[in-house]
Amino acid sequence: MKSILLIGLGRFGMHIATELSQIDAEVMAIDREEERANRAARTVTNVQIGDSTDTDFLESLGVRNFDACVVAIGSDFQSSLETTANLKELGAKLVAARASSDVHAKFLLRNGADEVLYPEKQLAKWAAIRYASDHIFDYIELDGSHAIFETSVPDSWHGRGVGQIDIRKKYGINILAVKRNGRIDATVTPETVFSRGDTLLVLGEYKAVQKCFHI
């Protein structure tokens, strides 16, 4: 079980707290406002009311002992930068900080953030890819060139097997799983045959996926 220090309990922070609690992570949550802290107390392992820009307060939490520290402060630019810098100076193993703009993201990285969470930008890219095509149902970015896509099976593939189509050889795309009737089957073999209504989870370069599935 991983231990997470979560700083900032606004909407974004509370969503993270809820998701972490559902996977049984050990979470200590921090916020300046008592009302927010009390609301989170029902969800997380532990909660503290305090100012994350105060180095002494952060040090008292033992930030070195957490597997990851998430700075979910979005609206207070200065507090988010100071908190990020303080965490790294105190020896935090991993600091992921929320950005609210491109400039904010750059300054967070300069102030010690190991990773930047930019939900508006990340969701915008997901939405653009999802809704600009009739064939893409979901998408997970892996790096600047590769992603995992959930895509419909082309009509010409119905009744044919993975080995017959062989998109790995033709396009460098790997079929990770077939989703059928809402259930994912990850035991894909050359003999797996596609049916109408199936969707695929595929891994590959953007350009290769676009070419293969005519997106």
Q: How much is the average pLDDT of 185-202?
A: 90
Percentage of the chain with pLDDT > 70?
Answer: 100
Q: What is the CATH number of the domain that holds 147?
A: 3.30.70.1450
Q: Give the chain's domain count.
A: 2
Q: Convert the pLDDT of each residue in 174-193 to its tens digit.
A: 999 999 888 898 998 888 89
Instruction: Looking at the structure, tell me whether residues 107 and 139 fall in a common domain.
Output: no
Mean pLDDT computed over every residue of the chain: 90
Dump pLDDT digits (tens) for 42-64.
899 899 999 999 999 999 999 99
The phi, psi pair for 123, rounded to 5°, reads -70, -35
Q: How far apart are the first and last CA of the chain?
A: 41
Q: Are residues 97 and 38 in the same domain?
A: yes
Considering the domain architecture, whether residues 17 and 91 belong to the same structural domain is answered as: yes
- Do 71 and 168 belong to one domain? no
Q: What is the pLDDT of residue 74?
A: 76
Q: What pLDDT does residue 27 have?
A: 94
C-alpha 55/C-alpha 130 separation (Å) is 43
Strands (E), 8-135: 26-31, 46-49, 68-71, 95-98, 115-117
109 and 173 in a single domain? The answer is no
Domain that holds residue 193: 122-212
Nearest 5°: the CA angle 11, 53, 114 is 70
Based on the domain organization, do 130 and 180 belong to the same domain?
Answer: yes
Domain boundary among 97, 117, 137: 117
Q: What is the pLDDT of residues 79-128, one digit of tens each?
A: 999 999 999 999 999 999 999 999 999 999 999 999 999 988 888 888 88
Residues 74 and 24 in one domain: yes
> Which of 117, 138, 163 is where one domain is finished?
117
- Across the range 150-156, mean pLDDT stands at 89
Q: Are 28 and 6 in contact (CB under 8 A)?
A: yes
Are residues 138 and 73 part of one domain? no
| 93, 117, 141 - which closes a domain | 117
110 and 132 together in one domain: no
How confident is the model over 14-24, as pLDDT tens digits? 999 999 998 98
Residue 60: CATH number of its domain: 3.40.50.720
The pLDDT, as a whole number, for residue 73 is: 93
Q: Does 111 share its domain with 135?
A: no
- DSSP states of 127-148: HHHHHT-SSEEEEEE-SSSEEE
Q: Are residues 16 and 108 in the same domain?
A: yes
Select from 16, 54, 52 the least CA-distant residue to 31.
52
Q: Helix %, strand %, coil % for the chain, to 5? A: 40, 25, 35
Same structural domain for residues 110 and 129?
no
